[in-house]
Structure 1
């Protein structure tokens, strides 16, 4: 686990946010479930710059409280799924 990934998980823990919370996405009638943990770990496979953008955006979402966190992970999850689907085409 790299330093930024540890920081992301620590931020969530400090905010009493369950890293294993899940979000369901309906894509063409098929439900895909992603956990916050999966989303964090997957984004940590990206470039260093992308990792920094991710943690900066996470910190901003924390400032927006509960609704900001949920919207943040919904958006990041959608981005992962869109990327995955476009790679399959």
Structure 2
């Protein structure tokens, strides 16, 4: 780590990864994830919050995320069906 200069604010550490808690938090699913439109004062259109970390994205990015999640969940359900496990 480098030298800290006097009077310089500390750098914010970026969160690169989050994981599900072992036990769901009270208020699931809203306590884990939410999505809503941003206000007129934001450049992006949608804010997705995952485990308390807010991600501001354009509507087109949100749509692509939706399509990717749908594809991944379909593949997940295919594997579950192969093994007789419940699907989501």
TM-score, normalised on structure 2? 0.29
Instruction: Choose 1 or 2 for highest CA Rg.
Output: 2
